[in-house]
Amino acid sequence: MSRRLRSFKRWMRSHGIECSDALELAEEAPGRGVFVAALCGLKEGDLVATIPKSACLTTRTSGARPLIEGAALGGCLALAVALMYERSLGPGSPWYGYLRLLPDRECVPLVWSASEVEELLAGTELDKTVKEDKACLYEDWKESIEPLIHTGPLKLDPHYFGLEQYFSAKTLISSRSFEIDSYHGSGMVPLADLFNHKTGAENVHFTNAALPSDSDDESADNISDASSSSRPSMEVNSNSPAGGKDEALEMIVVREVDAGAEVFNTYGLVGNAALLHRYGFTELDNPFDIINIDLALVTKWSSYKFSNRRTRSRLSTWRKLNYSGCTSQDSEYFEISYNGEPQLELLVLLYIITLVESTFEKLKMMMDTLESTYDCFSSVVELIKITRSNGCKDLKIINGQKEPEDLKKLLLTESVCCALLALADSRESLYGSNSLEDDLKKLSNCCCISERKLYHSLVLRVSERKILRRLRAYATRSSKKRKL
């Protein structure tokens, strides 16, 4: 074991962290990433670590607490200040033995140069997000952190609180912090943050020691579902002050591990864009991958194929039928799942856009009969009844079943299939002039260690472009089925 790991183990002992002798902390290479392995076989239910909350670095435990509370800072920004503060104390920080083990920063796109973001992420789901993140974080720093350097109650060394240090702290928080409880909020949890991630195949969970071990409360698990997970979490529902009855966190084996094998945690069921964004890595063939098609891309295609006027009126009818896309910040978009299936709302929009004028007029006249309380299923059924002369026959396809796939079948007219192909081409053009095959070739020649940024951005590009290929196959298959 290296010196830095030995000294971390001593630090853990002096802070009451118990780490089972069955776990080995190891380095991928001297001075590089750390991982956890099993020295002997581990069985489901084995308790492998206990971490007192007092050993976690949070806004409540940090010496920066008066500064944070005085400035009324909250959330991630407050934790970043706590982390920067403890780092600034060097050996004077109670967390020095832990902080020495952390990298300066995690290699997430937030800390890539502007030209790397431009070159490597163009067209991907992260392209816009990373640029927006940088701008937002700069504003946060200017507004809340810079003033503390000069006027705050603690004498801060500006060297540790600059914009660059703030970005570095944010990368460590996005990749290693855990939600502890409502008192501590998010925090850095030594030892717990040494486990690497494996999608859907983790070996350990973290729970609050005070929860009954047979609790079936999902919120005690560190795996949250795809929608809520933003980072590895230990969700605890009590409001316990530090040192209260819920004072420790436990790490329990949930899937057996063979002697010598790596012990994995999970950071959630998330796709490659989210993995790269928060943790700086990707996984090949990640089943949680998705690609988004912006509403703006759809309206651009429609205006080009038809006209602005038609696009506006069809979009407004779609909205009146209570449909919308997914929203984030100021954009609206549709998801295409890993297997290339478009979101129902996109199919409904394309269906309405491609209706011939007379049928669209009929739909508008009948709008009042479409109650706003209709659920998605009833609304599509009514739409088909109104807009198709053989609508009732078509409806037999779904045979009363409310399966989303059956609803989608109803909407996949020849024109909708062509629209999907055009949208796939349009979305693909955002990646530039090279092809998926070019990217695959580049990826096969790329080293995931020495060319980390290139490697993971290529995996992201390839994952997204493969979804577009599946979307095309989906549209072509659906069109062929109609012709049979």
> Which residues are near ligand SAM by CB under 6 A?
33-35, 106, 175-176, 193-194, 196-197, 279-281
How far apart are alpha carbons 305 and 423 in whole angstroms? 12
Least distance (Å) from ligand SAM to the CB of residue 455? 10
Least distance (Å) from ligand SAM to the CB of residue 193? 4
Joined together, the tokens standing for residue 404 give 């989303």
Residue 277 vs 408, nearer CB to ligand SAM: 277
CB-CB contact of 79 with 186 (8 Å) = yes
Least distance (Å) from ligand SAM to the CB of residue 104? 12
Least distance (Å) from ligand SAM to the CB of residue 439? 20
Least distance (Å) from ligand SAM to the CB of residue 169? 14
Chain-centroid distance, C-alpha 309: 37
Least distance (Å) from ligand SAM to the CB of residue 333? 26
CB-CB contact of 195 with 22 (8 Å) = no
Least distance (Å) from ligand SAM to the CB of residue 178? 9
Residue 208 vs 265, nearer CB to ligand SAM: 265
Residue 34 vs 380, nearer CB to ligand SAM: 34
Residue 168 vs 196, nearer CB to ligand SAM: 196
Residue 2 vs 324, nearer CB to ligand SAM: 2
Residue 106 vs 127, nearer CB to ligand SAM: 106
Q: Which amino acid is at 180?
A: I
Joined together, the tokens standing for residue 147 give 């003033």
Residue 62 vs 233, nearer CB to ligand SAM: 233
Exposed/middle/buried for residue 446 (C-beta within 10 Å: 0-12, 13-18, 19+): middle
For the chain, the first-to-last Cα distance in angstroms comes to 66
How far apart are alpha carbons 453 and 439 in whole angstroms? 14
Residue 35 vs 338, nearer CB to ligand SAM: 35
Joined together, the tokens standing for residue 306 give 């038809």
Least distance (Å) from ligand SAM to the CB of residue 432? 26
Which residues, in sequence order, are bridge partners of residue 47? 252
Instruction: Name the nearest CA neighbour of 58 among 169, 183, 159, 144.
Output: 183
How far apart are alpha carbons 266 and 261 in whole angstroms? 16
Phi, psi of 261 (to 5 degrees): -85, 160
Give the Cα-Cα-Cα angle 109, 114, 117 (nearest 5 degrees): 45
CB-CB contact of 205 with 223 (8 Å) = yes
3-class secondary structure, 11: helix
Spatial neighbors of 382 by CB under 8 A, at least 6 apart, are 369, 370, 374
